[in-house]
Structure 1
């Protein structure tokens, strides 16, 4: 596994160095189309790795009619050993986005890929198929990247670390400015409302060289939170758009643009505009990432009185004890229960968007933040029931959203200090944004004994080394969000041992 990781690291470094180099190289002589701008300016990406394939992505912006692009997949960076080549559709109706689902490759090995359009050749990307029985796995957990608040330099650290897949759990883009700054750059446009607006916002993000390099170097397994549409929305209920019909149109545009810019399977886009993001990726019997969507199907919380919104902390749950409200919706809850039962693995990574454990607040013992799972206590219990019914060996809840690092014990009864941990929660900080509210989070360790570690002063990501007998994790902190050449350092390490819920610090 070590040799394979080194090979992946070298391949990733090669992809990272080719941000601009691959854009306009000459194609073989039979090509006739000439371009005046780089058609691959939005880069390349991969996702959805399996034992015999993956999804490859690019987007030819500005397409007014359906075209095709050529592709090559090779065993070597020089493309001397090409194992697959052909043409893929770049449909104008999807903004020129290509979602190429590749199957039938050898398991457990890295591949190199590139696209052709006319005389232009894209940069080279790298992606690996999953080994049948991996002994080790290195993942990165990331969330919350605000374009204006900081540079995306943490992705360089992931590439250097030889990360094998990135779990991006939401707020990939932001729809609006937040706070008074300081900002390192500007959106240069107002809040997106239409499909073209959201396409432009995603394209702006893909112009960041570190994000573009990361997509070329590593597969991304993605799900969204709220800022991909608008802050604090749920299902078809707006966060701040006053007109309900205007919000539904805005959400449809945002969903479509998200699909067009992510390395998702073509089947993820469903009739009616649904983008089916809940799914599971397994690395043999070592680990599975059960990727959840806590926005699209979320129902109103039982803790919010009729006619009110969940904009901040509340003193107590309005209908405490009522089994209403779901973060996932009934269909996704049923899928999760079925999937964890059908896919027994050593490490079950429940990959969702926000804070899962109980969070008692300074306002009083019954206070809570209803946007978190505290607003959906019955749904949280159902998730733990599903994990218990499946006899899950090791449940690790992964999240983001709160712009701070957390390591928590997940308990059946958070009110009892002697209640045993049944799972471990790891929450990543923002990759690039302002940290969470100190008045809200600062007192958390004193009020919540199950909070084992909290850092609300650094941005960064979580590095996870998964082995059969343990997970070795590291919280990686960015040195300076205002420095485009910033580095990351070790903030805290932790270990989760096999069959022992709760992190060792």
Structure 2
């Protein structure tokens, strides 16, 4: 396997001049000699016999054909699968190869060919039929302007089996005060071409490219892939419903074009992945089907209002909720992981006992309680809820009655901080541990990601924090480690 540092630095020369280009490496802007694989390679969604391979050709017009090769060794001495895939112009020349028929529980290497050029080598794997261990990296919230993506170097070095990217993969807008390390170089995206350019810009980052090449990703979106705080078909800045529907459709298409996702994900992003009989990943979509936030458009600190008790209010939509409930009832794995976007636990705020923030699960208390009820079926041995969005690290105990934090602890929650962005609002979070005894750990001062090691006896959670978002050589270190024991929900000191 190529050295991890070599993987990380391989695209540095390409990236330096692209950071300020509004529409990088499109057919209109790219020089004729541009590397067709300048956006890198990626893999994702492994099954026992396969995975998805991705690339997007840069600077090409019209439909293109791309060759691919898969081997168990990085020198490709024994190629076990080769073929040709279409890179359609209608999909921005993106390639999605859905591979099947391979051996379970093994690493594989892959590369693409086009017009005499060979891509960098990527490494991926198939899921095992049975396993006693799983290492995950949980990440979210990477703002291009607000920080370098240096933390990905540590992630590659830690060699997780899977990276769970739970939203805000791109940001559509600039916000906040503070030093920026680079700029978008383009206005806020609205059209398909705009969103494609924003994703393409992100794909020129050398650390992000290296992580995708070295590690398989499991992705789901949050709000900034479209527009901040949108809910279903209701925009926040884009008020006109037809205009927002068109914007959302463009953003969704661009997202699919740039992610290692199966074709079925175009119609339905929520899905289920299995890691033998050790863990099931129930990957949720908490944006597309949710009802509007209560008591006002978008996310706000609110008091009690009738909309909080509306019977039809939902974070997931009825169909996805039934899918989740059915999946938990038939759970066979030892660990049940809910891979979703945001803070799940009740968050009591300093504004008063009725105050809550409407864009997280607190805005949908009945929907949250139904999920908690579903996690208490006998087939679920260990429930672990994973999230991001709030730009801070959290360890939370989830009680049977989440609104009152009453009854036994039935699940554990881990929230990853932002990978590269400024931290969450102190006015909401600084008092969280004092007002919320179920919050076992909170850090709202550092960026990074979470490393999760799961085995037959426990899940070990390691918050990995970066020293500086503005220093490209900043180190990433362990901030805190905690353990969740088998069949004992809640965090052990």
1:123 and 1:324, CA in 2 relative to 1: closer, same or farther beyond 3 A? same
Match among 418, 427, 436 for residue 439 of structure 1? 427
Q: Which residue of 2 aligns with 1:309?
A: 297
CA distance in 2, matches of 1:170, 1:320: 25
**Whole-Å separation in 1 of the counterparts to 2:468 and 2:13:** 28
**Contact 1:169/1:399, CA 8 A, preserved across alignment:** yes
Q: Classify the secondary structure of the residue corresponding to 1:419.
A: strand
Deviates more, 1:234-243 or 1:428-437: 234-243
Which of 377, 386, 395 is residue 365 of structure 2 equivalent to? Answer: 377
Find 2:283's aligned residue among 287, 291, 305.
Answer: 291
Matched, 1:423 2:411: yes
* Structure 2, unpaired ranges of 5+: 16-30
Distance 1:254 1:390, change over 3 A: farther
Counterparts in 2 of 1:13 and 1:86: CA distance versus 1, 3 Å: farther
Q: How does 1:309-388 map to 2 (within 5 A)?
A: 309-388=297-376
Which residue among 55, 59, 78 is the counterpart of 2:56? 59
Paired with 1:450 and 1:230, the residues of 2 have a C-alpha distance of 31
Bigger proportion of residues as strand: 2
Give the alignment's TM-score, normalised by structure 2: 0.94
Assess, with a 3 A threshold, how the Cα gap between structure 1 residues 286 and 12 changes in structure 2: closer, same or farther. Answer: farther
Match of 1:106 in 2: 103
Indicate the residue corresponding to 1:181 in structure 2: 178
Distance, in Å, in 2 between the alignment partners of 1:37 and 1:47 is 26
TM-score by length of 1: 0.91
Distance 2:343 2:262 in 1: 28
Is residue 146–residue 432 contact of structure 1 (8 Å, CA) maintained in 2? yes
Structure 2 Cα separation of the partners of residues 180 and 240 of structure 1: 20
Following TM superposition, by how much is the alpha carbon of 1:12 offset from its aligned partner in structure 2, in angstroms? 5.3
Q: Measure, in 1, the Cα distance between the counterparts of 2:35 and 2:465.
A: 34
1:383 CA drift (Å): 0.7
> Per-residue CA shift, 1:323-357, capped at 9, x if unaligned?
33111001100111111222321111101001100
The answer to whether the Cα contact below 8 Å between 2:66 and 2:86 also exists between their aligned partners in 1 is yes
- Residue deviations 1:34-83, cap 9 Å, x none? 96110000000000101111000000134432111010111111111111
Given the superposition, is the C-alpha separation of residues 63 and 359 from structure 1 closer, same or farther in structure 2, using an over 3 Å criterion?
Answer: same
Residue 466 of structure 2 corresponds to residue 463 of structure 1: no
CA distance in 1, matches of 2:472, 2:13: 20
In angstroms, what is the RMSD of aligned CA positions? 1.9
Cα distance in 2, alignment partners of residues 163 and 392 from structure 1:
24
Identify the residue that residue 3 of structure 1 maps to in structure 2.
none
* Count of residues paired in the alignment: 478
Counterpart of 1:71 in 2: which secondary structure? Answer: strand
- Match in the other structure for 2:461: 473
In the other structure, the counterpart of 2:238 is 241
Q: Please list, as runs of the form range in 1=range in 2, the aligned pairs for 1:165-176 lying within 5 A after superposition.
A: 165-176=162-173
